[in-house]
Amino acid sequence: MSGKDVDVIIIGGGIGGLITGAILAKREGYRVLLLEKEKYLGGKIFSYEHSEFEPKEFKQLLYATVRSTVIRSDPPIDELLKAKTFKDYIFEGGWHGFIASDRSRMSFVLKALGGDCKIVPNRGLRWWLNEEWHELRDLMQGWTMEEVLEGREVSREMNLMSNEEADVFDHVDMEVYMRSRAKSPKVRQFHQVLAAWETGINDPALVSTGEHIKAINLVHRSGRDFQMGGCGEPEGGFNSLTRAFVKIIEDNGGMIQTASPVKEVLIEDYVARGVRVATPEGDQDYLAPAVVCNVPLQRAYPLVPAEYWPLEYMDRIAQIWPLAGILGWVCTKPPMDPNFAGIYVNPVMPGCSDADGFRGDVLFSCEDAGVIDPKRVPEGHGLLAVWCGLLPRNPDEIRNEELVDRAVEGMFTFLKHLMPNFDQQVQWYFLTRCEELYSMSVSPGLVGDRRLPVSHPTVKNLHFAGDSVAQWSFGLSGATGGAIHCASAVSGRDQSVILPAYMR
């Protein structure tokens, strides 16, 4: 396939690649060729939609999309799969509802491109305190007036910051920032726990204050908050979102090929000329004037050899660490609370505090996807998406079997406390060790001016998308931001104009 046939080749059919392709196809008239190595599109947001996978394929796809392996299930995962238990459900390999509201970056881009995808919002956020649930906005009821005023002043300062003002705090951690802003431990803990839930990082010393401020302001300025509608998910699962962007690409002359693993980017005289694809008939070269790589930067070396990267860039890539944790699904009948379609947050799971060997108190969160979106489950069932964050390095918690076991036990101890009839109520569950829910954690030293640019520094016509490139925000929101910046670089036009100014 020659450059006469396509204008840009995109490597990777995750959400970053799909959005980049949709923008270029719809707004610029580019002939897009998107290549995905797996048989299915979506990457990290892939939905197991009424799936009937055999055990081998399910496990392979789970690891390929979110670097996850099943560590515990009941019944055993092979039995669940052989019995086709999942054919009545819709779930993902990870949790992606944060900032996925109907007024998120992703939603604005989709609407600007003429696409459509109904978003089901969260309705409530409960915080576990003193052995009971509290609505987020009610937490200050037990505070002194001095603490209330201090808390309001801290929130006011954050909420009034522009993105440029928040940039100053990109490399300031939340622990230091809150010590400088609040005397009350309650005020400090409130903001630190909110940042931990938002970023998936337990230790406030590892959370970028600038990223946290910009993320919460993105929600508030959209007219939403975390209590009502700041989070959400596409009705019927995230494959709905994938299909919406695929339709835009194909309706505007683009082509998508799955089961097409790219072996390398073809580079001649430091100019990207196309890609080499492994096919059943042998390697095949596809040529195009521009190439976009939507593979996480820390795994881009086989595609773009190290010899093309400046040493400083290689050092920055080596420092990137992803967001990792224990993720899973717990199916119940009836739901834990059929009247609450929101998010649950417990700041510290039983036996999983900083004193128990973890770096920071391990936060637990869940939501009943079956209550939020009944299309995901059979009538009368609940489907809890459960998760807690664990570090992949410094220290490596996610591969520490003792800590993983402790975190799993903490999850079930808490869930059984919430549901006294847990063993009778639970129909099935499985938990995974996820090594890469997001490509990059939003920590000081990684974000802001330390992110890699969307265009390769020495190879012309080679660009990058995803949540780890130059932009702000993370996860689905970050991947959308990276896609917009990448499409701008490819086209030479500012594509961020399709977003409200506060999201750019």
Instruction: Give residue-wise pLDDT tens across range 123-164.
Output: 889 999 999 999 887 888 889 999 999 999 999 999 999 999
Q: In Å, how far are 107, 217, 232 from 476, measured between CA atoms?
A: 11, 16, 12
Q: How high is the mean pLDDT of the chain? A: 94
Whether residue 68 has pLDDT greater than 70: yes
CATH number belonging to the domain at 141-223, selected among 1.20.1250, 1.10.10, 1.10.405, 1.10.287:
1.10.405
Whether residue 502 has pLDDT greater than 70: yes
Report pLDDT for 5. Answer: 87
Report pLDDT for 127. Answer: 94
Please return the burial class of 420, using the count of CB atoms within 10 Å of its CB with bins 0-12, 13-18 and 19+: exposed
pTM to 2 decimal places: 0.96
Is residue 405 classed as helix, strand or coil in its secondary structure? helix
Cβ(255)–Cβ(25) below 8 Å? no
CATH no., domain 8-50+237-318+443-503: 3.50.50.60
Whether residue 2 has pLDDT greater than 70: no
Token pair of 496 as six digits: 């961020």
For 132, phi then psi, to 5°, come to -155, 160
Residues 398-434: tens digit of each pLDDT: 999 999 999 999 999 999 999 999 999 999 999 999 9
Q: pLDDT-derived band of residue 99, with 50, 70 and 90 as boundaries?
A: low
Percentage with pLDDT > 90 across the chain: 89
Q: pLDDT-derived band of residue 175, with 50, 70 and 90 as boundaries?
A: very high
Q: What is the DSSP string of 205-220?
A: GGSBHHHHHHHHHHHH
Residues 354-387: tens digit of each pLDDT: 999 999 999 999 999 999 999 999 999 999 999 9
The domains of the chain are located at 8-50+237-318+443-503, 66-88+321-438, 141-223
For 106, phi then psi, to 5°, come to -60, -45
Report pLDDT for 98. Answer: 62
Closest CA to 6 of 30, 36, 22, 28: 30
Q: Which residues of 381-408 are buried (b: 16+ CB within 10 A; e: fewer)?
A: bbbbbbbbbbbbeeeebbebeebbebbb
Report pLDDT for 225. Answer: 84
Q: How far apart are alpha carbons 472 and 479 in whole angstroms?
A: 10
Q: Which residue has the higher pLDDT, 229 or 52?
A: 52
Please return the burial class of 424, using the count of CB atoms within 10 Å of its CB with bins 0-12, 13-18 and 19+: exposed
Whether residue 1 has pLDDT greater than 60: no
Cβ(247)–Cβ(486) below 8 Å? no
Residue showing tokens 């079997």? 401
Mean per-residue pLDDT, 343-362: 96
